[in-house]
A and B are shown apart, each in its own frame.
Chain A
Amino acid sequence: MRRSLSVLAALCLFLHPAFGDAPVHHMLVHYAGPQSEKYLPSLTALLARAPLTLWTVASALPSNAGPADIAKEARRFACDLILSVTVTDKAGKDEVSWALASPLESSPRAHGQQMKNRPDWPAAAELYWLFLVAPVAKELGPDARPWPAPVVSERAVFTVAARPGTLLSGLPGGAVTVGASGSVSVELNLPVSVFVEGHLVGVKTRAVRVFVDHPGQSVTLDQRPEPEWALTPNLDNFTFPALGVEWSPGAGRLVFRGGLEQYLGGLSFQNRADVGSGAWPVQSLPLAELSAGASWIWSWPEDAVRFYTGADVSVRFMFPQFKVFTVEPVVPMTVMPLVGWEYRWADHQAVYFELGPTFLWIPDQSLFLASLSPNTQNAYIVLPAVPFAVSLPFQAKAGYRWSF
């Protein structure tokens, strides 16, 4: 022990002047052997101490990684030194093989092999590695051949391939649109992790995270065309079941929509539980609406919650006692501007909610007022100067959108 401490003190004196303004070395420690959770921390702890005072990082590579992989790992962490240590069992003792190398050189500058008694954990574990201090310090000393500077960064071209028109974000320089060539190339400092998002109307583009660590690397975004058609069963004002169909040419932002709202069967609950307690909670009117409209989707296909605005024009049909089927004359037509939100929890499947005021065309105001039900909770405001009334509260639709 005394001898070891003497050597350590001598090394300190020997190395100290040379380390004054010397560049800090970064060392990748690649350990292969048993009980890495004990051997490796004790080794890196020793390397971090004076006189070596090295900044170390432990390799995450498997123990059988080859020199090329280890060198690549060293470049990734901007290390200029690689210390590879292998511990094997030899008749109850440790045979320790080591090598000190540069990731930019093909052969190690120093290496050695030594038989060691296994340490008594945790006592004096760092001293187990003490034999490495001298040879390593020698290679780092002022008389040693200079080590190549670590490759901190490397400029390289990274290419993202996607459909023309795709708006890419996440790359240096801000958002960029893919041109007719179908790809965008940017220069990056390697290594780097890039999260690439793409947006293109009509297709669903999956975001991807790429670790770029070598020149010429590329990635092709996964883009799948969106369906153009959708069926939208819904509940009109949470009361009457209805069915709609939507068509979006090219799966674009513009959506043409039509629907059939029927009032033959709907929910109806009494305001008081003691009124009509024996009746089914349903209501029925000989009335239906055929609607047509359009909407504009403001969100991207990839967004889980999509926002849209639109308007529907509906023609009302009545068929009392099924003896006539004709346009309902009191309120022949309605117009409903709307805002909508849809939440897609899976491909082609979403729930949506729409809300908007309903403008009712009322050619004869007296007939309209006489048609109001005294039992309804709805209120209507007859607009001045124009033959329209507006419903309050706003009309709402909640439904399921199945795209195909």
Chain B
Amino acid sequence: MAALLALGSCWSPVFNPDVSLAALTASKLSLDVQFTGLEGGSSNTTGYLAVPSPFRPPTQVSVASLSLTGLGLTLMTNTNGTWEAASSNSGGQNYDSAIPDAQLTTLSAGLDGASLASFQPGVGGGTVSFIDAGSTTQYSTGVVLGASAYPTSAAVTLYALVVPVLGSNTVTVLPFGSSTGVPFANTPGATVGTGTYTGSTTYGWLAFDPINLVAYLTHYPKSSSGQYTTDKIQFTATTATLAGSWTRSDRVAAFLTTGQLLTRDGGYYDVCNAGGSIQSTFAAGSLTFAGEYYDAGTSAYRCWFTEVLSTNGAQSSSSVNVRVYSVPTSQLGSL
């Protein structure tokens, strides 16, 4: 009886809330492409994040993996149904540099594939590091709070908010690239805005509205009740002022071309208006918002969601399936 009790007490039913929640919403999305049989990579891989590039065919996806050896970025290509990782010998698309002990937080589509932002916890807050798609160099000119992509028809600009010195209250918004061929990240574009804001703790997530020059920044630390505080900061060319703030269980994810804010609350995404009020909620789970792009075929903006599925419950020896879904941005509120 003791042995049975011991065996049973280690038992739990097959259930992963993230996978199940994703399945609820995935049935309402278009499955654009699916990659199967990707090797899990290094042992002890614990997390994946995938994102397609709006400038590449949907059969090319950037995959970030987190392992004990760090955080890596790989551009994966599916040719005739075969999944292949572009090696460093074929165009320098294999970004296997690593950030030790990083937490995977943001992966944003860029001009030349993808860029990666990660949050590295540390005493007094932490450091956000940035790996761009054009270089394997890891750098942090100041502290990068995060990356935010925003499509304008066929062009996509990637923005980053940088705090020059950790603890400083001055923030700068930098456009990191565009479809016009500006070298990504190596030569940051003109400063969109810089100024003083009231934030006093480290920010972890960023959404940027380049039309109205509004940044939505969610503090990384949670309150004692487990809630996040999100600041809405209005930029001008020379000033940054706090235009609003709210404390909830969600954090910002993206600013959409519909003028809505997408936030993440555990296993769910919330669609909010520009003021932060929640308009609708849909299940997300292991679905990750991977960006918004302009679909010339339908002359409409669509949102990409990706899902990385381990074939054996994230065991180290498992292989990985990547699924890329899309849905018109205008339909997000009805999912």
Q: Is the CB of B7 within 8 A of A371?
A: no
Closest B-chain residue to A334, C-beta based? B13
- A266 interfacial by beta-carbon distance below 8 Å: yes
Q: How far is the CA of A316 from the CA of B20 in the complex (A)?
A: 11
Of residues 143 to 177 in B, which have CB atoms within 8 Å of A's CB atoms? none
Q: B residues bordering A, Cβ < 8 Å?
A: 4-17, 19-21, 23-24, 27, 36, 265-268, 281, 283, 285-286, 309-315, 318, 321
Complex partner residue of B313 from A237, A266, A370, CB under 8 angstroms: A370
Q: How far is the CA of A89 from the CA of B2 in the complex (A)?
A: 71
Residues of A near B7 (CB, < 8 A) are 238, 377, 393
Q: How far is the CA of A47 from the CA of B11 in the complex (A)?
A: 78
Of residues 276 to 301 in A, which have CB atoms within 8 Å of B's CB atoms? 281, 283, 285-287
- A94 interfacial by beta-carbon distance below 8 Å: no
Of residues 331 to 390 in A, which have CB atoms within 8 Å of B's CB atoms? 331, 360, 364, 366-374, 376-378, 380
Complex partner residue of B312 from A283, A285, A372, A391, CB under 8 angstroms: A372
Q: Is the CB of A238 within 8 A of B16?
A: no
Known: A281-B9, A329-B27, A366-B309. A373 touches B16 (CB 8 A): yes
Q: Is the CB of B313 within 8 A of A373?
A: yes
Q: Is the CB of A318 within 8 A of B309?
A: no
Known: A326-B24, A377-B10. A366 touches B321 (CB 8 A): yes
Closest B-chain residue to A376, C-beta based? B12
**A interface bracket (residues with beta carbon within 8 Å of B):** 35 or more
Q: Is the CB of B313 within 8 A of A238?
A: no
Q: Is the CB of A396 within 8 A of B23?
A: no
Complex partner residue of B4 from A238, A267, A364, A376, CB under 8 angstroms: A238
Starting from the known contacts A269-B6, A320-B285, 4 additional A-B residue pairs (CB-CB under 8 Å) come to A283-B12, A316-B15, A370-B321, A373-B14
Residue with the highest number of chain A CB atoms closer than 10 Å, among B12, B14, B17: B14
- A49 interfacial by beta-carbon distance below 8 Å: no
Residues of A near B10 (CB, < 8 A) are 268-269, 271, 376-377
Residue with the highest number of chain B CB atoms closer than 10 Å, among A267, A331, A364, A366: A366
Complex partner residue of B13 from A285, A329, A367, CB under 8 angstroms: A285
- A239 interfacial by beta-carbon distance below 8 Å: yes
Chain B: minimal CB distance from A365 (Å)? 9
What are 21 A-to-B residue pairs whose CB atoms are below 8 Å?
Answer: A239-B9, A263-B12, A263-B15, A281-B9, A285-B13, A316-B13, A316-B15, A320-B285, A321-B266, A323-B268, A324-B24, A330-B19, A367-B23, A368-B14, A370-B309, A371-B19, A371-B313, A372-B14, A377-B7, A377-B10, A378-B11
Closest A-chain residue to B27, C-beta based? A329
Q: Is the CB of B313 within 8 A of A268?
A: no
Residues of B near A269 (CB, < 8 A) are 6, 9-10
Q: Is the CB of B14 within 8 A of A331?
A: yes
